[in-house]
Amino acid sequence: MILVTGATGSIGRPLVRRLRRDGTAVRALVRDEAKGRALGCEFVVGDFDDPASIVAALAGVDRLLLNGAGALPADGEQPMVRQQKTIIDAALDAGVERVVKVSVWHAAEGGRLAEGAHWEIERHLKASGLSWSILQPNGFMQNFITGQGSFTADGNLVGAYGDGAVSYIDCADIAACAATLLTGPPRDGETFLLSGPQALTHTQIAEKLSAALGRTVHYVSLTADDMAAALISQGLAPRFADDVAVLTQGLASGIAAPTTTAVRDLTGRAPRTFDEFLAAHHEALAALAWAPSR
C-alpha cells in the first residue's frame, strides 16, 4: 500500500490518478473528507499537525510519497520541517520500506523560502535508516495557474526574473517520476534533479500565454523590492514575499535555466513542454489570467 501525502495538490492529484489507473493500491492523506472522496481512492482524513492521524494513515503502508505545501502561512512560521520530520519518524516506526520525498531544486543549508527547509528534511530522511529517493524539481508550470503573484490586476505576467530563463516543469511529470520510484525497482539513496524540456524567459512565457489566451500578455519586470510589495498587497506573509522576490531576482542570473534528462530517464518519455502544459490547462489559466483576484 502506498500512502500519498499532499494528495490534493499539484503533484498528488496526478500521482493518485496514475496509481489508480495502473491498479496500484493507494491511500491518500487528506484534510478534507469531501476532497478525499473526490480523489476516488482509499483515503484517511488527517493533518500533518496531528501525529496520531499520521500514525493511523501509515497503518499497513509500505511505501510513502512525502509531500506538502511549500508556501508559508500568513503568520510566517514554516511548519514543513517539523511536520515532515514527524512523518519520517512515524514511517520508520510503521515499518515503511521506501520513501520518495518531494524537495526542491537547489535545496541548501540556510536557503531562502523552502530551500533551507527541504535541505533540513532531506538530512533527517537520509539519517533515518529508511530507504529513500529524493526529487528536486525546478519551478512548477502550475505556478502560472495556482501561484499567487504571477499576474498583475489587469492580467499581465509580473516578476523580478529579468532576462533569466527557467526550465519550468509540469507537476504531472514530477508525479510520473514519483510513480516510477514508488512502484519500480528501488533507487535507494538517489537524488533526481527534475526540469522541463526547455528554459524560457518570462518574456517568452508571456508570448506563449498571449498565443494560448488570444490576447496580449506583457511581462512586467519589477525590482525585488517592488515584487515583494506587490506580493504582500496580495496577502502573502511578508517574509515569504521577500524570499520569493529575492529568489526570483536570483533567477535572473540563469541558475534555474539548466535542463536535465531525469524525467526521460525515469519515465521513458520527454517532459511536457510549456505549450503542452498550456493546452492541457487552458480553461483554468484563462479564468485566472482574466480575473486574477479569484
Q: And the C-alpha cell for 151?
A: 499576474
Strand, helix or coil for residue 192: strand
248 binds ligand NAP (CB under 6 A): no
114 binds ligand NAP (CB under 6 A): yes
Strand, helix or coil for residue 26: strand
Element (H, E) at 190: strand 190-194
State which residue, 122 or 130, has the beta carbon closest to ligand NAP: 122
d(CA 26, CA 42): 7
Strand, helix or coil for residue 80: helix
Q: Per CB under 6 A, which region of 46-54, 148-156, 211-219, 268-276 contacts ligand NAP? A: 46-54
Residue from 1, 20, 25, 31 touching ligand NAP (CB under 6 A): that is 31
Residue from 132, 140, 161, 219 touching ligand NAP (CB under 6 A): that is 140
Least spacing, CB of residue 214 vs ligand NAP, in Å: 26
Q: Which residue, judged by CB position, is nearest to ligand NAP in the bound state?
A: 9
Please report, in angstroms and rounded to a whole number, the separation of the first and last CA atoms in the chain: 37
Q: Per CB under 6 A, which region of 29-37, 177-185, 201-209, 268-276 contacts ligand NAP? A: 29-37
Q: And the C-alpha cell for 285?
A: 489559466
Strand, helix or coil for residue 288: helix
Residue from 3, 8, 151, 196 touching ligand NAP (CB under 6 A): that is 8
Q: Would you give the binding string for ligand NAP spanning residues 78-107, x where CB under 6 A is met?
A: ------------------------x-xx--
24 touches 83 (CB < 8 A): no
260 binds ligand NAP (CB under 6 A): no
Residue from 10, 167, 201, 260 touching ligand NAP (CB under 6 A): that is 10
Least spacing, CB of residue 68 vs ligand NAP, in Å: 4
Closest of 108, 138, 140 to residue 122, by C-alpha: 108
Residue from 49, 93, 190, 225 touching ligand NAP (CB under 6 A): that is 49
164 binds ligand NAP (CB under 6 A): no
Which amino acid, residue 65? L
18 touches 176 (CB < 8 A): yes
33 binds ligand NAP (CB under 6 A): no
d(CA 31, CA 85): 19
Residues 6+ apart with CB under 8 A from 70: 80, 104, 113, 114
- Contacting residues toward ligand NAP, per CB under 6 A: 6-10, 12, 31-32, 35, 47-49, 67-71, 102, 104-105, 114, 137, 139-140, 143
